[in-house]
Amino acid sequence: MSDAGHFADRLAAAVERKGAPLCVGLDPDHALMPERLGVAEFCRGIVDAVADVAVAVKPQSAFFEAQGAEGWAALAEVCDHARTAGLLVLVDAKRGDVPSTARAYAAALAPLADAVTVNPYLGHDSLEPFFACDGLGVFVVVKTSNPSSVDVQDVQLADGRPLWQHVADLVDRWGADDVGASGLSSVGAVVGATFPQEVAEARQLLPRSVLLLPGVGAQGARAEDLAEAFSVGPAGALVSASRSVLYADRGAGWQEAAAAAARRLADELRSVAVAG
């Protein structure tokens, strides 16, 4: 956790400095990575390749946990390296548990990260330990990018709306008390970029939340469809791409290919976020 102030204000300053709201997801998968590289070495290399165009990196906890204790140590090392490189670090862990357990999760993750992702299914008291961490951004999962997100998130409520819109209302309420000078709250929302219509609706329901939009690139979403997310300003959304940047090339040119893929996406986002 950083003591450098309100998360959304730090994000807004970073977007202004770098010019585009790009986040690069770190999903280190040995089946896709260049051969003979360790997880930490690969991720440090990606961080160095994208640091001048991205505002944030998003290590996906699962891919580090899959390497056991060594992977957990690599996660801490990569987070530290990214922050030293001037990037914000969002640890994507989607935790959610009862309050006594949530406090342990917050203690595990907050020291590594500027922001974390969490799951809303257990309600407010399960997330309160994260909200209570000074300066920590908290992105609550609202509508995800995967096809089966409809199973629960789109179930119809008594008022006719899909469940995810009720969750969006909760997120808006949970974040109302922690709005920074940028006009944005430290409580954000994860909305899959693969559902542009839902992204636009989420923007209406969550006028003070930064929207974290994963799914661009390998999952099929396109930057140009996300303009409405930026109607509140260029830091109103953070667009995240993982595989399309990480695995742009598996050969000797992997770092250059990642840098080029990140730069292309940043250029696309720059026009979308400024026009939004």
Catalytic positions: 94
| Inter-axis angle of helices 39-50 and 68-84, nearest 10 | 20
- Least CB distance from residue 31 to a second copy, whole Å? 10
User: Do 172 and 209 touch, CB atoms closer than 8 A?
Assistant: yes
Q: Residue 239, CB half-sphere, CA atoms under 13 Å: how many?
A: 34
Pairwise CA distance, residues 158 & 57, whole Å? 39
- Least CB distance from residue 264 to a second copy, whole Å? 22
- Least CB distance from residue 124 to a second copy, whole Å? 4
- Closer residue to a second copy, CB minimum distance, 12 or 78: 78
- Least CB distance from residue 170 to a second copy, whole Å? 6
- Closer residue to a second copy, CB minimum distance, 147 or 251: 147
- Closer residue to a second copy, CB minimum distance, 145 or 209: 145
- For tokens 């509508």, what's the residue? 143
The β-bridge partners of 74 are none
| Inter-axis angle of helices 254-275 and 39-50, nearest 10 | 50
User: Do 175 and 187 touch, CB atoms closer than 8 A?
Assistant: yes
Pairwise CA distance, residues 113 & 90, whole Å? 6
Residues of the shown chain interacting with a second copy in the complex, contacts defined by CB under 8 A: 27, 29, 60, 62-63, 65-66, 68-73, 76, 94-102, 104-105, 107-109, 119-126, 141, 144-153, 155-158, 160, 163, 166-167, 170, 219, 243
Tell me the DSSP string of 49-84: HHTTT-SEEEEBHHHHHTTHHHHHHHHHHHHHHHHH
- Least CB distance from residue 123 to a second copy, whole Å? 3
- Closer residue to a second copy, CB minimum distance, 59 or 236: 59
SS3 94: strand
Residues with Cβ within 8 Å of residue 171, at least 6 apart in sequence: 120, 140, 142, 187, 188, 189, 206, 209
- Least CB distance from residue 96 to a second copy, whole Å? 6
- Closer residue to a second copy, CB minimum distance, 120 or 175: 120
Residue type, 141: V
Pairwise CA distance, residues 118 & 187, whole Å? 10
User: Do 43 and 74 touch, CB atoms closer than 8 A?
Assistant: yes
- Closer residue to a second copy, CB minimum distance, 54 or 74: 74
